[in-house]
Amino acid sequence: MDTDDLEPNRSVLGEPKDLEVLSVTALEEYIVELEAEITRVRKAIAGKHSAKTAAESFFKS
């Protein structure tokens, strides 16, 4: 594995927002967006775990 694979991909994550210039309301909205993205990623992870478990079960037989 290349060590570059361990670094976050900025094109996927985007550049960090300058939090100093955002209002409290904008920051709260940003948190909601981030939490929605975290939920989406957790669902993707769960799906991948399910697929892996199913594949492992299939090949154990």
Within 10 A of 19 (CB to CB), how many other CB atoms are there?
A: 9
**What pLDDT sits at residue 3?**
65
Q: Can you tell me the distance from the alpha carbon of 45 to that of 61, in angstroms, rounded to the nearest whole number? A: 25
Q: What tens digit of pLDDT does each residue of 1-59 get?
A: 566 666 666 666 678 899 999 999 999 999 999 999 999 999 999 999 999 988 888 88
DSSP state of 22: S
Three-state DSSP at 60 gives helix
pTM above 0.75, yes or no: no
**What pLDDT sits at residue 25?**
98
CA distances from 7 to 28, 46, 59 (A): 27, 23, 33
